[in-house]
Amino acid sequence: MPSYESKLFLWGGLAVCASGLLWFFPGLNALLSVAAIAGLTLVVTRLGYFRAIFVSILGLILVTLESSVFLGPLFGVMNGAIFAAAVISPGIAMGAASRNFASPIKTVWYGFIPILVLFALILVFYGSVVNNIPSLLRQVNAAMVMNIDNNPLLAKTLFGSDTGAREKFLDEFDKSIVFFIKIMPGTIVVGYLTIVILSLILAGNIGSRIGVMLPRFRPFYLWRASDWWLLPTAAGLALVIFGPNELWQYTGGNILVVTGNIYAVAGMAVTESFFRRLAIPNFMRIVFYVIMLLLFVAGLVFLAALGLADSRFNFNRDVLDRDDKNIE
């Protein structure tokens, strides 16, 4: 086996094993999931299914054993199943799509289907979480009040001498929890979709350097949201406004979270194309994106509106692409 294939097998296996070993670390597990899915995609595409299954079993054993030791056998099995659905299955499925010369979008869907199955199971528990929001808020408030009462310095730092500040703080905190619970399904979908897309981008960049053919996206500044995304966007907006009860309104809100983020990414691509056309320095681009991040909801809405406008009116960014090719 050529040396680069040995290295691919080694690094792909290490990425999967590291993802399983550090599965409990928030943030880090997401980054390692990207590396693991990309590694499995490359291993399946270049080396075949047997080696991919071998490294997958190693990662699965690590996450199951670690979970069993710290949380018990039941949680070990559950975390192993989640790892298989969220990391192993997408990587192998995307590798299979790549071997069949699928398009980038189709390859992403191959990787996202196992996650949709996991998401359907999450929705089963989501209903009980929504129904228990009042009880959850009481427990959280009780815990926070106890910590504040036991730490006078913290209470003075947060609230000073204002006796009503604590109640206002708890009220706003409750609203934040309720808001997060409302958008949790949409946030999960966006998060996993981002992981799958970044995994394919990473795999494609690595593959181009070692001679492995993988589906590649167009340059980011040419990304555009399909017109078809208008249908779920309109449906989500209608449910939020005219939904007969909170369940339908929650559903509409989560649809808007997904489509809004997709349009926001398209909006970022539009801004990037203008930056390229005007030759804006990288420092100024970073400042702009930092401002959008600080604005949070307002920045997201602005970028989403820009992406939506581009899907309808087409800002003709292909001209920039043709200009770049002519220069080359």
- Give the C-alpha separation, 84 to 77, whole Å: 10
Higher pLDDT pick, 73 / 173: 73
Segment 289-308, tens digit of pLDDT: 888 888 877 888 888 888 88
Contact 82, 188 (CB under 8 A): no
pLDDT reading at 323 higher than 60: no
Query: What's the gap between Cα 321 and its chain centre?
Result: 28
Contacts of 52 (CB under 8 A, 6+ apart): 12, 40, 43, 44, 91, 92, 95
- Give the C-alpha separation, 63 to 83, whole Å: 8
Contact 23, 79 (CB under 8 A): yes
pLDDT reading at 319 higher than 70: no
Segment 65-88, tens digit of pLDDT: 998 988 888 888 989 999 999 999
- Give the C-alpha separation, 185 to 121, whole Å: 11
Main-chain phi, psi angles of 224, to 5 degrees: -145, 140
Q: In the predicted model, what is the mean pLDDT of the chain? A: 85
pLDDT reading at 185 higher than 60: yes
- Give the C-alpha separation, 64 to 259, whole Å: 35
Give the per-residue SS3 of the chain: CCHHHHHHHHHHHHHHHHHHHCCCCCCHHHHHHHHHHHHHHHHHHHHCHHHHHHHHHHHHHHHHHHHHHHHCHHHHHHHHHHHHHHHHHHHHHHHHHHHCCCCHHHHHHHHHHHHHHHHHHHHHHHHHHHHCHHHHHHHHHHHHHHHHHCCHHHHHHHHCCCCCHHHHHHHHHHHHHHHHHHHHHHHHHHHHHHHHHHHHHHHHHHHHHHCCCCCCCCCHHHCCCCHHHHHHHHHHHHHHHHCCCHHHHHHHHHHHHHHHHHHHHHHHHHHHHHHHHCCCCHHHHHHHHHHHHHHCHHHHHHHHHHHHHHHHHCCCCHHHHHHHHHHC
pLDDT reading at 52 higher than 80: yes
- Give the C-alpha separation, 115 to 88, whole Å: 10
Higher pLDDT pick, 312 / 92: 92
pLDDT reading at 247 higher than 80: no
Segment 119-140, tens digit of pLDDT: 888 887 777 777 787 887 888 7
Confidence at residue 143, expressed as pLDDT on a 0 to 100 scale:
79
| CA-based max dimension of the chain | 72
Confidence at residue 311, expressed as pLDDT on a 0 to 100 scale:
78
Mean pLDDT of 216-221: 88
- Give the C-alpha separation, 89 to 112, whole Å: 9
When mean pLDDT is compared across 26-40, 154-168, 230-244, 257-271, the lowest value belongs to: 154-168
Q: Identify which of 65, 47, 50, 63 has the alpha carbon closest to the alpha carbon of residue 11.
A: 47
Inter-CA distances, 85 with 92, 110, 115, Å: 11, 12, 6
